[in-house]
Structure 1
Amino acid sequence: MAYVVDFDVASSWNTGFTGSVSLRNTNTSAANGWTVEFDAAFQISNTWNAQLVSHVGNHYVFRNLSWNATLPAGGSVNFGFQAANTGAVVEPTKFTVNGQASGVDTPPPATLPKFSVNDVALAEGNSGTKDMSFTISLDKASTETVTVNYATANGTATAGAAGSGADYQARSGTLSFAPGETSKTIKVTVHGDTVVEGNETVLVNLTSPTKATIADGQGVGTLNNDDARALPRLTITDTSVVEGNPVTTGGGGGSGGGAGAHAGFFSTSGNQIVDSAGAPVKIAGVNWFGMESGRYAPDGLHTRNYKDMMDQMVDLGFNTIRLPFSGQLFNSGSTPNGIDYSKNADLAGLNGLGIMDKIVDYAGQIGLRIILDHHRNNAGAGASENGLWYDGTYTEQRWINDWKMLAQHYAGNSTVIGADLHNEPHGPATWGGGGATDWAAAAERAGNAIHTVNGGWLVFVEGVESYQGNYYWWGGNLMGVKDRPIDLNSDNKLVYSPHDYPNSIYGQPWFNDPNFPNNLPDKFEQMWGHIYETGEAPVYLGEFGSKLTDPKDVAWLDKIQAYLSGDLDANGSRDIPANKEGMSWTWWSWNPNSGDTGGILKDDWTSVNQNKVDELRPLMFDLGADGGGGGGGGGGGTVTENGVTYATTTVTLSEAWAEAVTIDYRTLTDSATAEDFTSTSGTLTFAPGETAKTIKVAVVGDAKVEPDETFLIALSNPKNAVVADAQASVVIRNDDGGTVTPPVTPPVTPPVTPPSSGGGEEVTPTVTIADRWNTGFVANVAVRNTGDVAVDDWTLELDTPHSITNIWNAEIVSHTGDSYVIRNLAWNDKIPVDQTVSFGFQALGVPSADSFHWDFLG
């Protein structure tokens, strides 16, 4: 049999499951492209690592994506899907691969030893050769001689002789394991070069075992390119421009869409956090933990300088650090540790408070704000074990005294904006009711005590776990605010701070609801969003995060991102006034050593999980140079020359370079159109030694009372540099007063051909672009019944030049050329008259108004 297929259920719940399909090539030659077909009774709604090209009846057809098309001899590939299903999962049948019948993989006999080969990585070097060592292992010793063949194969690296431009020397042979031997090593020679290129892979494939079987037949060797790191990085700052006022307003640097904040402490006004001038601002930050642990210092200092990491936070667009600490931090015997003082010399000899002072001081220099978070009582990981803000050692009075000490210590320093009183009250903690476990009452006592010594601070109050039998995340349940709001002696200083997490942290019931993820905005509103929606007070989501490897997590993040931004029903339209900001937030976490969520940083404490930053980018906010935010390499704002108003932004090179650096730029429309600004493109040239260049875009002023509007500036085609931030958002701020209708992201509403047969059924698909990046985008589609009878089962044909790589709340029935046939799932098949159902997809390319053409097939 040429191909072997294995199917596994990765996870399951009442109404569905996720499945994994493993395909192994048992041919003696590689397969260039693969198609897998099978029959299954369940209904697939989401796929990854493969493309669903057809679904007719119970028959599914999948094929490879561009990056996993090649399947070497003996090699394997995996893809997965999410499906709706009730009861036990019945495994698929009638597997075929590339038209050949294939059986389900059968585990090897238990009596035979199994071969496996490891994955390795090696820096390629600039010249000469290096050896990449692969280890071939047996899981147990054999009493007989066993053998296995091995051969290298090209992944993205190419084989050839030294000096030919190839990356490695091909190698093959047979390994013989004598009785008792369990490990052997083969070495693949790697050629060094100075070519600036991506990391490349070479494969080692095991085949034809004798008296043994193969458990893992492919080792992946990664040739880490060590030349690209030498190139400087190009970044571009987000900015804003005042539409019709020809005066210089400055702007501040850093990423984010905000207008900037005045220096001084923050206060509140309704559901808005405002700066010292009363202008709305938004906290858009990251959690940096470690001071709450037995290390008594922020994590990562064992390998990096703390200022370097804080600079990186600013470069990525964050404006605030939530800094957890424990009550034990302030004990005399709590000595900071786990710090490389050769990289952090100015921290040597300091206690925990001294290190906190250093963090606060440097934050003030680079424009970050700090929220201090009493994370737990004794030093350790996570929330306090008893769920309360005190215990037998650390009393409530000690907790309040620690907060008064910190408030007095930082009095007058507006870098520290406030106190997150206690992290994740849960268990016995109650909201109201009186007594020693009444968290709401305790929060008032602590908040009022703080304001006796520091009236400038905001007081952040988290929720509890349970209220009137309704359970939610620890610290996330703020239902009780409706019945028992917090009442501080100082007005305009209270912010409520829930926490919210996705399916991968715990499979809460709402993640298994048939209406998931569309049920999430109502769940957010029920538990904490009602505070913002009713204007009671601002909401700051103190923790939310994910590794983004669970498809349900990605769907959750899309909904919570929309909700935080002011799209309160997550339908693609902003539901709050143009002069208001959405909810504030800090992502969990900066640290990669969070076992639940991972971090913004990867495990090397330097590289960035760019997918997370890209997801958060629409929520960023620039506090401005004099508001304690921004930074990030330059600034921007409004200038006028000869009566023309320009938006200005800065493109920054991370270091001076000995050769000329060039980068192309061009403007792109977003909610602002061609009548709002002058389309601009060109090339910037950095002469040797230069590190900053300015782009100016002329803005067309008018007297219309209208929402703020946005256009984009995109960077491309770098020479002698790499692009770290490829796109800036430019907000054109309305300055004409009046009442502004809440802005609505202009949807792409392409024409729809009605069905050829009558019956009164008609639908209109409306596409909105929910997110976009250099190589792709996420689209949401609202399908509205515009006919005069209910639609029962709907099928659409979409013509688009964009390749769809992922779809949810609908399924692709077929895909031919640029044409996709898409239909409903079982639970969203009916559309009443004048009602709407929604689905979404991810695709490659840059979308435009003419990217989508629809036919309603019935």
Structure 2
Amino acid sequence: MNIKYLLSLTISLFILVVSGQQCFDQSSVTYTTSGTQLQMNGQTIRVQGIAWFGLETLTFSPGGLQTKSVEQLLDVLVAQKFNVLRLPFSVDMILKPRMPNQINYGLNPNLAGLNAFQVFEYITKACATRGILVVAEMHRFDPNDYIPGLWYSTQCIYNIDGQCINYTTDVVTNAWITVVNTLQKYWNFWAVDVKNEPHGTATWGTGNTATDWDAAFKNIANTIQSKTGFKGVYFIEGIENNAGSICSPATGNWWGGNLSPQQCFPVFLATPNKLVFTPHTYCSSVSDQPYFNDPSYPSNMPSVWDASFGFLKSSQPVVIGEWGCKNNNTKNSKWISSFVSYLKSTGMTNHIYFSLNPDSADTDSILNPDWTTINQNVAGYLNDIGTNPSIFSLSGNKVCLGPISTTSTVSSTTIGGSTTTTTGSGTTTTSTTSKPTTTTSQSTTTTGGGSTTTTSTSTTSKPTTTTTTTSQSTTTGGSSTTTTTTSTTGGGSSTTTTAGATTTGGSTTGHTSTITIQQILSSSWTDSNNKPWSVYNCFITNTGSSAIQNVKFSSVPNVAPDQSWGAYTPANVNGNWIWSAQSWALTLQPNQPTNFGYQVQSATPFTFTIVQ
């Protein structure tokens, strides 16, 4: 098929948007707290996170990498508005160079040869380009062992080399120092989750140094801080049951969920404004607690949550560190509704959901079991929480709070008809497929406000196809462009390509379809040869009313990117680089942004043209 005879949708305008947000050098980014607020360089941030498990297990591999790439899964997080990733590790994989055994290196060539901790670092770096903060979480000592109740082992544990290792407080603390010193060169390394889910014999405020988690947490966190100068925050989880129910509910406490003793034995760190309380809580799919079977359930749940951690809502920063549920019965459905309502009513909407992995045995995931499609039920109730997570954008060596985006302005071009080229920051154009007999134009330019508006109208006596492109720009300390393209075919016979949908012959009445491609500049730099490089995170969206199949587009310049990832990848077709959907993304559903991205040796993005 000859591309030049197609009605093509052309991405023709690149606009950098910096809309009044504050930007900081990556090296200067510091995370703190203030009252109940989380902050980056003194500015309040809001977080919606998710856990991705696997590295801490005997696979030494994050889940899903046999069928997906790291980049594909991180792009899911961006599309679903997660701005935090919680990654677990074992102390063993910090002490020893453990090699992953469940990664498809054909899909993940950049992970080839990396050990488990190096994979952790790679994911942290990949998150940085996408504006995702990282929480490092010490999940267990050895992958052969289960989650320990205390922060040290009470006996030696045999590792896969046959060595019996004693994980003392010093061994664990030194492992943490290695982790922090390795990762803190990345601006997005946000938090240290010192120990996952203290439970069992763990206590709080009893004076027993062998079991008091509060004292151990302070000791470990203060040591890490003094040795590394960590610029992030420290997560403190709760315990299970306190000895003799000291300042604590007697039963029904989750591992890591009971922060009630903080009311009697408050924790403070040597460096102020770096402490975040992160309780864990779940529904009956994880464990059927007594209060789930109370006659007043679920109206009794707010008092349960208040006792465990809700009392902190007006005085301390709280991030729900783990929560989730398998929505497989009425009881669990009620729990989800109640918990979402509780978070909204208390304002404790900063949270980390469990988990990204759809093969979790007792909780649901944002993904369906295919590791590809979105679990719309989960997406729905996460959206209902209303976190409104902060957006972290990169511009060169700076991190900005808010979007820095290039929005693709979509132009319509017909060979043999009128051609419209869009310039400026706002254009309204109407064109026809036959020669125009009347042309009216109006141009308005506003200086200082960053906007230019042009209106052009072309008419004929009997138009058969009308294509309208409308761009509107609103500038507040910068400029932004949103593009909508609508094509309608009236009476007569025509061939119309409308944002990737083709209708041949006959007539189409009342059909509207729109494709937009947004390109977000994730990062840019100049290499040692003074050549510019850029990384773009892209979202292609069908804002029409029906699905579109197998969208393809070409790029200008007609070259391959240095790297590409996500739903669309390029291939050389008869000398033209054509971007096509991967097998799992052939259908572009209405109003569901699909993510792809690329790295290119250039200071400007590709110009895309829809060819099918």
* Counterparts of 1:409 and 1:541, CA distance in 2: 26
Equivalent residue for 2:211, pick from 437, 443, 455: 437
Contact persistence 1:650–1:692 (CA under 8 A): no
Three-state SS of the structure 2 residue aligned to 1:562 is: helix
1:263-282 CA-partner distances (Å, limit 9, x unpaired): 62221001110121x22212
1:652 positional shift = 11
TM-score, L = length of structure 2? 0.61
The match for 2:548 is 720
1:568-594 CA-partner distances (Å, limit 9, x unpaired): 2xxxxxxx6xxxxx4421111100121
The match for 1:603 is 369
1:693 positional shift = 9.8
The match for 2:529 is none
Give 1:523's aligned amino acid. V
1:75-101 CA-partner distances (Å, limit 9, x unpaired): xxxxxxxxxxxxxxxxxxxxxxxxxxx
Contact persistence 2:203–2:241 (CA under 8 A): yes
Give 1:304's aligned amino acid. K
Equivalent residue for 2:35, pick from 252, 259, 270: 270
- Residue 426 in 1 paired to residue 199 in 2? yes
Give 2:73's aligned amino acid. M
Counterparts in 2 of 1:650 and 1:661: CA distance versus 1, 3 Å: same
The match for 1:398 is 171
How many residues of Structure 1 are paired with residues of Structure 2 in the alignment? 414
- Residue pairs, 1:453-464, within 5 angstroms: 453-464=228-239
* Counterparts of 1:693 and 1:352, CA distance in 2: 32
- Residue 514 in 1 paired to residue 282 in 2? no
- Residue pairs, 1:772-851, within 5 angstroms: none
* Counterparts of 1:585 and 1:486, CA distance in 2: 21
- Residue pairs, 1:466-615, within 5 angstroms: 466-467=241-242, 468=245, 470-471=250-251, 472-533=253-314, 535=315, 537-565=316-344, 567-568=345-346, 582-615=348-381
- Residue 337 in 1 paired to residue 120 in 2? no
Three-state SS of the structure 1 residue aligned to 2:230 is: coil
1:387 positional shift = 4.8
The match for 1:43 is none
1:510-558 CA-partner distances (Å, limit 9, x unpaired): 222233222222221110111123x1x2111111112212222222222
Q: Which has the higher contact order (CA 8 A, sep 6+)?
A: 2
1:410 positional shift = 2.2
Three-state SS of the structure 2 residue aligned to 1:477 is: coil
The match for 2:45 is 281
Give 1:661's aligned amino acid. A
* Counterparts of 1:290 and 1:599, CA distance in 2: 14
Higher alpha-carbon Rg: 1
1:619 positional shift = 3.0
* Counterparts of 1:402 and 1:662, CA distance in 2: 52
1:371-423 CA-partner distances (Å, limit 9, x unpaired): 00001111157522x45443432111111111111112223422110100111
* Counterparts of 2:400 and 2:198, CA distance in 1: 30
Give 2:39's aligned amino acid. V
Equivalent residue for 2:499, pick from 661, 669, 676: 661
The match for 1:691 is 517
The match for 2:424 is none
Higher strand share: 1
1:720 positional shift = 2.7
Three-state SS of the structure 2 residue aligned to 1:370 is: strand
Counterparts in 2 of 1:491 and 1:640: CA distance versus 1, 3 Å: same
1:613 positional shift = 1.1
* Counterparts of 2:60 and 2:130, CA distance in 1: 23
Higher helix share: 2
- Residue pairs, 1:629-648, within 5 angstroms: 641=451
1:504 positional shift = 2.0
Counterparts in 2 of 1:380 and 1:530: CA distance versus 1, 3 Å: farther
1:297 positional shift = 2.0
* Counterparts of 1:485 and 1:652, CA distance in 2: 55
1:691 positional shift = 2.5
- Residue pairs, 1:28-47, within 5 angstroms: none
Counterparts in 2 of 1:551 and 1:512: CA distance versus 1, 3 Å: same
Three-state SS of the structure 2 residue aligned to 1:466 is: coil
Three-state SS of the structure 2 residue aligned to 1:602 is: coil
TM-score, L = length of structure 1? 0.44
Three-state SS of the structure 2 residue aligned to 1:542 is: strand
Contact persistence 1:324–1:373 (CA under 8 A): yes
1:352 positional shift = 1.5
* Counterparts of 1:371 and 1:323, CA distance in 2: 6
* Gaps in structure 2 of 5+ consecutive residues: 1-15, 156-165, 409-448, 454-472, 486-495, 502-510, 521-540, 550-587, 594-612
1:348 positional shift = 1.2
Q: CA RMSD for the aligned pairs?
A: 3.6
1:716 positional shift = 5.0
